[in-house]
Amino acid sequence: MWSELRGLKDKTDFGTPPRDGLPVTLEIDGVSVTVPAGSSVMFAAAAAGQAIPKLCATDMLEAFGSCRVCLVEIEGRNGYPASCTTPVVEGMKVRTQSETLRRLRRGVLELYLSDFPSSEIEGGWSEFHETLKAEGVTESRYGNGRNHFDATIDQSNPYFLFDPAKCIVCSRCVRACAEVQGTFALTITGRSFESKVAASQDQPFFESECVSCGACVQACPSHALIEKSLFEGEYRHAEPAKT
Amino acid sequence: MPNPLKPDRSVITTCAYCGVGCGFKAEMRAGKIVRMTPWKEGKANHGHSCIKGRFAYDYYNAPDRVRTPLIRASIDDPWTPVSWQEAFDYAASAFRRIQAKYGVKSLGAVSSSRCTNEEIFLVQKFARAVLGNNNIDNCARICHSPTQFGLTNTIGAGAASQHFDSILQADVIMVVGANPTEGHPVFGSLMKRRIRQGAKLIVIDPRKTETVESAHCKADVHLAIRPGTNVAILDSIAHVVVREKLYNEEFVRARCEVKEFENWKALVGSDKYTPEAIGPLAGVDPADIRKAARMYAGGPNSAIYYGLGVTEHSQGSTGVMCLGNLGLSCGMLGREGVGVNPLRGQGNVQGGSCLGSWPHVFSGYRFVTDYETRSSFEAEWGVPLDSEPGLRLPNMLDAAVAGSFKGMYIMGEDPVQSDPNQHHVIAAMKNMECVVLHDLFLNETSKYAHVFFPGSSSLEKDGTFTNAERRVSRVRKVIEPLAGYQDWEITVKFMNAMGYAVSYDNPGQVLDEIARLSPAYRGMSFALIDRIGSAQWPCDETAPEGTEILHRVKFPRANGLGAFMLTEYVPTAERTNDKYPLLLTTGRILSQYNVGTQTRRTPNSMWHPEDVLEINEQDAIARGVKDGDFVRVSSRFGQIELRAKISERVNPGIVYTTFHHAKSKSNAVTSDLSDWATNCPEYKVTAVDIVRAVMPVAEIPRAAEMPRVEEMETTE
């Protein structure tokens, strides 16, 4: 019972919450795996040891389907569904690796990278950085267009900061605040390029309804929300990107 | 800006703050703790955390942390730093001299729920085996002692019947005198998760707390009772259950003492407890009492969670019994999703309760008067033990004032700040010849101490904590103790200096001794916990990995049946009158923890730089008090000054404050009344009056000018 809490593992991120359900058997890259009904394809792949790259998904939160990195091919289905929002079906055959998938993922990751401070790519160890490494993406074909590099860093909270320059707007922080903590202090304001994480009425974190539980920091895949204690000295903006 | 520095090592341990007992990973880099992150496999927290455990850990390294033992001949002298051996010898010779002069019973010991199980066990062993008496108490005296008494007498075990996750099966959640989203935040989040899934919520609390209403969480019924009317309101709820025949007759007949049930029915079913009689007395709408009773009895799964708002009353034990009775009568015990659960305040209050830090019982609540139990301890410890129950902490203080009690070993407690009627406590302290204080920081009590043992924080030692769901989890040493010794080592060395030869290689051996001597812990060991993460007692041959739900088949009483206790409402002697027309009640806030020793040494104080007095606008206007004014709060016992905050959270006639800051001295006004059965102080009801106070401008600390963390008071 309560697998969504009790089935969590310290060293594995299944991508979507573990479920209680009758066993369903499917094939991931030719490997047979049995998971509870209600699980996602992403969960099944992680359980089979074939983890699918992802950014907006993590197993403490319900699937969201926004980052488009976790695309897969499913036999008998059109297109490239997101594995996080696709529930498992008995007998399903899933491919997580193909030349097309690699190309699609690269394209998406490069778009993310086009608005990420290039001086901060090397040496990073966030999930975003690890995903870039795993997919072999080091630079973006799209060059430097409009970006958020100069957005104000919110350092109002004594324990963590928010640097919008590194934010990929995956909503994990917003969802953690709602689903895990239950405070609903965070939201995404604006649309398209103007989309950004905002606390309460777009206030500094410290002045907002945020209760500083740390769930958003824990959920952030790109170190945009990060503990101040991991830095020596004052936190500054990234160096301007060199072209 | 370069990327964040990556931690290179981590240690899994248990948070030392509240009774939730979250599992954390203490992450290190180059030997220093750089962050604490919640452990996804922690069975109490499932990867979640709150501001205290996640961020407020740096107190361990505060500049005013005492790092060398201190002694002095008189409390008027300055402290002299000495070596550990000198401190042990000094304290031991003073203690032996006092016992030679005033008798064996002139000394006692107090342990704390901030200590590990192993330390708590060693301190009571110190009192019983080394001092040779049963003068041992712990801080649960001032918070959850009525839980012990009230639950044992009804459902047979003074502990939560459930595990935390059980709430995810509850259809109705009844929260009485607790504010989980502030006091037990990670459990509060779990509760809110269940409420968002559709569970109904009943809150009984004088104050409109965050639990009553917050985003996507609103109580279906809030009984905003007048402080001190818990028993009346719970009896009235029981009245509705009885008169409308909402009780579970099948459960009662199968699992409870039926004759006592009939007696109870006759009492609470009588006309004096009708909602129409009690409603006006308690300040709530009778219709809401009926609604709450029907909702609770209707279930199908109803769970009770309660806190100090039930226990810290002159009828604290009776209030707890009311909850036990209610659970039994409606059959809300013995399965998932139901239960009667105390929300324990400190990290190890449950451990403090279980492990014999009481003057009348050994671990497992077995009486010191019982020959067989005593013999088992005598055999293990190799000394004869006193068969007469010892003094409770308030009685030790009374005896000190009277002159017959002369010294105390206090571990991890600050009774001068945290115990009721501060003037009396200070008089007692001044009257003692040797007070040995074992703590991280000098505090209010250290002003009256003669020996100071600098202790170790929970990051600097090994041991176990038992959380509010009976879960025993490992505390693991992350860094070396700043003052040289782990707390358990200090107590053992003090025992040795007193002439009692005992040694342990590690605290795992102390847990083994606990397991040998305590039935509920029989199966506990470091090895078990290391293997399965944590285990809930009872843990023995029949439940080798612990027990999640109690009372499934029978209640742990001699005949296995649940018992109904008669819970007549007796109003507290603390009454309002013309001179003291308002009722003061107290509580906690999220960012601070208890008397603030830890959290006030962290940036958490940015959220709560001072205790404020919440007052309803109506009462404020009547007294010419504006928001932010300083007010003088006076009671029959003393007076304090606080900044007023006009708030709709409290009803007219009621004022509220927190007790996190030493300088506000909330306990200088609280009454000296206490629970009839256990002496738990009545912190929750004090008749007061409020007048505007004029403070010299220079003395008014504005929030913006509050001392920065590094400048914060070094000697509180």
The Cα–Cα gap between B330 and B234 comes to 13
Residue for token digits 């300083």? B630
Distance CA B239, CA B249 (A): 15
For residues B478-512, one letter each, b for 16 or more C-beta atoms within 10 angstroms of the residue's C-beta and e for the rest, the string is: bbebbbbbbbbbbbbbbbebbebebebebbbebbb
End position of a domain, from candidates A75, A97, A119: A97
Query: Residue B1: is its pLDDT beyond 70?
Result: no
Q: Which of B54, B590, B603 sits opposite A214 (nearest CB)?
A: B54
Pair A129, A68 in one domain: no
Rounded to an integer, what distance in angstroms lies between the CA atom of residue B1 and that of residue A161? 13
Strands, DSSP E only, in B359-492?
Answer: 361-362, 366-367, 407-411, 434-439, 451-454, 463-466, 471-475
Under a CB-based contact definition with an 8 Å cutoff, are residues A83 and A68 in contact?
A: no
Query: DSSP states of B424-461 as a string?
Result: HHHHHHHT-SEEEEEESS--TGGGG-SEEEE---GGG-
Total number of domains in chain A: 3
Q: B689 Cβ partners below 8 Å, 6+ apart?
A: B579, B580, B581, B582, B633, B634
Report how many Cβ contacts below 8 Å link chain A to chain B: 116
Q: What is the CATH number of the domain that holds A83?
A: 3.10.20.740
Tell me, yes or no, whether A239 lies in a domain: no
Please report the pLDDT score of residue B347 as a whole number.
72
β-pair partners for B454: B439
User: B701 pLDDT exceeds 90?
Assistant: no
Contacts of B49 (CB under 8 A, 6+ apart): A213, A214, A215, A218, B15, B22, B24, B36, B37, B38, B186
Taking an 8 Å Cβ-Cβ cutoff, which residues of chain B contact chain A?
A: 1-7, 25, 34-35, 37-41, 43, 46-51, 54-55, 165, 168-169, 185, 188-189, 192-193, 196, 214-217, 336, 590-591, 603, 606-607
Q: Is residue A32, in this structure, part of any structural domain at all?
A: yes
Neighbours of B468 (CB within 10 A): 29
Q: Do B35 and A230 touch (CB under 8 A)?
A: yes
pLDDT at B372: 93
A6 contacts B40? CB cut-off 8 A: no
Give just the sign of the alpha carbon dihedral B690, B692, B696, B701. Answer: positive
Beta pairing class for B23-29 and B32-38 = antiparallel
Q: Express each pLDDT in B31-68 by its tens digit.
A: 899 999 999 999 999 999 999 999 999 888 889 999 99
Query: In chain B, which residue's Cα lies nearest the Cα of A158?
Result: B603
Residue B424 is which amino acid? H
**ipTM, 2 dp:** 0.94
A223 and A207 within one domain = yes
Determine the distance in angstroms separating the CA of A208 from the nearest CA of chain B, rounded to an integer: 11
**Per-residue DSSP letter, B545:** T
User: Is residue A142 included in any domain, yes or no?
Assistant: no
Token look-up 């905002």 returns A198
Q: Are residues A80 and A25 in the same domain?
A: yes
In whole angstroms, give the CA distance from residue B276 to residue B148.
32
pLDDT tens digits for range B552-563: 999 999 999 999
Residue B702 reports pLDDT greater than 50: no
Q: Which DSSP letter does residue A179 get? A: I
- Residue B600: per-residue pLDDT: 80
Listed residues A97, A114, A148: the one ending a domain: A97
Identify whether A224 is part of a domain: yes
pLDDT for B695: 65
Minimal Cβ distance to B603: which of A1, A125, A159 = A159
Residue spans of beta strands (DSSP E) within B94-232: 107-111, 136-138, 172-176, 200-204, 213-214, 217-218, 221-223
**Tokens representing residue B631 in the block:** 């007010």
- Note whether A60 contacts B40, CB cutoff 8 Å: yes
Specify the pLDDT at position A243: 41
Q: Based on the domain organization, do A13 and A77 belong to the same domain?
A: yes
Q: What is the token pair recorded at A161?
A: 């900061």
Q: Which residue has the tokens 């609280």?
A: B670
Q: How far is CA B384 from the centre of its chain?
A: 32
Across B405-414, average pLDDT: 94
* CA pseudo-torsion sign B430, B436, B442, B444: negative
Decide if pLDDT at A230 tops 50.
yes
Q: CB of B185 within 8 A of CB of B607?
A: no
Residue A140 lies in a domain: no
The CA-atom distances, in angstroms, between B29 and each of B13, B34, B118, B322 are: 17, 6, 29, 51
- The single residue listed with the structure tokens 């919450």 is A17
pLDDT tens digits, B185-212: 999 999 999 999 999 999 999 999 999 9
Reported as a single tens digit per residue, the pLDDT across A173-209 is 999 999 999 999 999 999 999 999 999 999 999 999 9
Joined tokens for residue B466: 């038992």
B674 in Cβ contact with B574 (< 8 Å): no
Cβ A212–B55 below 8 Å, yes or no? Answer: yes
Q: Which domain holds residue A124?
A: 102-135
A24 and A65 belong to one structural domain: yes
In angstroms, the CA A216 to CA A161 distance is 11
Q: Looking at the predicted structure, is the pLDDT value of residue B715 above 50?
A: no
User: pLDDT for B667-676, tens place per residue?
Assistant: 778 777 888 8
pLDDT of res. B340: 95
In-domain check, residue A68: yes
Whether the CB-CB separation of B462 and B477 falls below 8 Å is answered with: yes
Q: What proportion of chain A, given as a percentage, has pLDDT over 70?
A: 97
CA distance A96 to B123: 59
**A93 and A107 co-located in one domain:** no
Cβ neighbours of B217 in A, within 8 Å: 182
Sign of the CA dihedral running B601, B604, B606, B612:
negative
Residues B190-222 as b/e (b if ≥16 CB within 10 A, e otherwise) read: bbbbbbeeebbbbbbbbbbbbbbebeebebbbb
Q: State the Cα–Cα distance between residues B463 and B347, nearest whole angstrom.
A: 13
Q: Which chain A residues are closer than 8 Å to B215 by Cβ? A: 182-184, 209
Q: How far is B609 from chain A (nearest CA, A)?
A: 14
Q: Give dist(CA B104, CA B406) in Å, integer.
A: 11
- Judging contacts by C-beta atoms under 8 Å, the chain A residues touching residue B1 are 120, 163, 231, 235-238
- Average pLDDT estimate for B510-532: 95
Question: Are residues B227 and B310 in contact, defined by beta-carbon separation less than 8 angstroms?
Answer: no
What pLDDT is attached to residue B461?
95
- Predicted TM-score (pTM) of this structure: 0.92
Q: Answer whether B41 sits within 8 Å of A60, measured CB to CB.
A: no
Burial of B245 (0-12, 13-18, 19+ CB in 10 A): exposed
How sure is the predictor about B605, in pLDDT bands with cuts at 50, 70 and 90? confident
> Confidence class of residue A242 from pLDDT cuts 50, 70 and 90?
very low
Taking only the tens place, the pLDDT of each residue in B633-646 is: 999 888 889 999 99
- Concatenated DSSP letters for B62-121? -TT---S-EE-SSTTSPPEE--HHHHHHHHHHHHHHHHHHH-GGGEEEEE-TTS-HHHHH
The alpha carbon of residue B531 is apart from the nearest alpha carbon of chain A, in Å, by 15
Q: How far apart are CA B486 and CA B471, in angstroms?
A: 23
Domain boundary among A97, A121, A150: A97
Q: Give backbone dihedrals phi and psi of A189, rounded to 5 degrees, phi first.
A: -100, 160
Percent pLDDT > 90 in chain B is: 73
Categorize the per-residue pLDDT at B663 as very low, low, confident or very high, splitting at 50, 70 and 90.
Answer: confident
Residue A238 pLDDT level (bands cut at 50, 70, 90): low
**Backbone phi, psi, residue B599, to 5°:** -65, -30
The whole-angstrom separation of Cα B58 and Cα B61 is 6
Place of tokens 């010991």: B109
Amino acid letter, residue B676: W
Burial (CB < 10 A; 0-12, 13-18, 19+), residue A111, is middle
Nearest chain A residue to B603, by CA: A158
In a domain, A19, yes or no: yes
Query: What separation, in Å, do the N-terminal and C-terminal C-alpha atoms of chain A show?
Result: 54
Helix, strand, coil shares, percent, chain A, to 5: 25, 15, 60
Q: Are A167 and A148 in contact (CB under 8 A)?
A: yes
CB contact under 8 A, B38 and A218: yes
Are A19 and A61 within one domain? yes
Do A122 and A203 share a domain, yes or no?
Answer: no
**Quick check: B215 and A184 CB within 8 A?**
yes
A223 within a domain of the structure (yes/no)? yes
The answer to whether residues A72 and A114 belong to one domain is no
Give the pLDDT confidence score for residue A239 in this predicted structure: 56
Assess whether the previous peptide bond of B300 is cis (omega < 30° from 0).
yes
Task: For residue A223, give the CATH number of its domain.
Answer: 3.30.70.20
CA closest to A184 among chain B residues: B215
Look at residue A142 and give its three-state secondary structure.
Answer: coil
The model's pLDDT over B212-236, given as tens digits with 9 standing for 90+, comes to: 999 999 999 999 999 999 999 999 9
Which residues of chain A make contact with B193, given a CB cutoff of 8 A? 179, 182
3-state SS, one letter per residue, for A150-162: CCCCECCCCCEEE
A8 shares contact with chain B (CB less than 8 Å): yes
Percent of chain B at pLDDT > 70 equals 96
pLDDT tens digits, residue range A76-119? 999 999 999 999 999 999 999 999 999 999 999 999 999 999 88
pLDDT band at B346 (very low <50, low <70, confident <90, very high): confident
Q: Is a pLDDT exceeding 80 seen at residue B139?
A: no
Residue B201 bridge partners (DSSP): B173
Q: Do A211 and B217 lie within an 8 Å CB cutoff?
A: no
Same domain, yes or no: A82 and A114:
no
Q: Are residues A130 and A178 in the same domain?
A: no
Residue type present at position B66: V
How far is residue A93's CA from residue A77's CA, in Å, rounded to a whole number? 10
Per-residue burial over A73-91, b = 16 or more CB atoms within 10 Å of its CB, e = otherwise: bbeeeeebbbbbbbbbeee
Rounded to the nearest 5°, which phi and psi values hold at A238? -60, 155
Same domain, A32 and A115: no
Q: How far is Cα B639 from Cα B624, in angstroms, rounded to an integer?
A: 19
Question: In this structure, what is the dihedral angle of CA atoms A232, A236, A241, B4, given to the nearest 10 degrees?
Answer: 30
Nearest CA in chain B to A218: B37
pLDDT at residue number B352: 76
Radius of gyration of chain A (CA): 19
Select from B328, B442, B624, B346 the least CA-distant residue to B72: B442
Tell me the domains of chain B and their CATH numbers: 9-61 (2.20.25.90), 70-141+348-536 (3.40.50.740), 145-342 (3.40.228.10), 582-711 (2.40.40.20)
CA A48 to chain centroid, in Å, comes to 20
Q: Which helix (H) or strand (E) holds B529?
A: helix B526-532
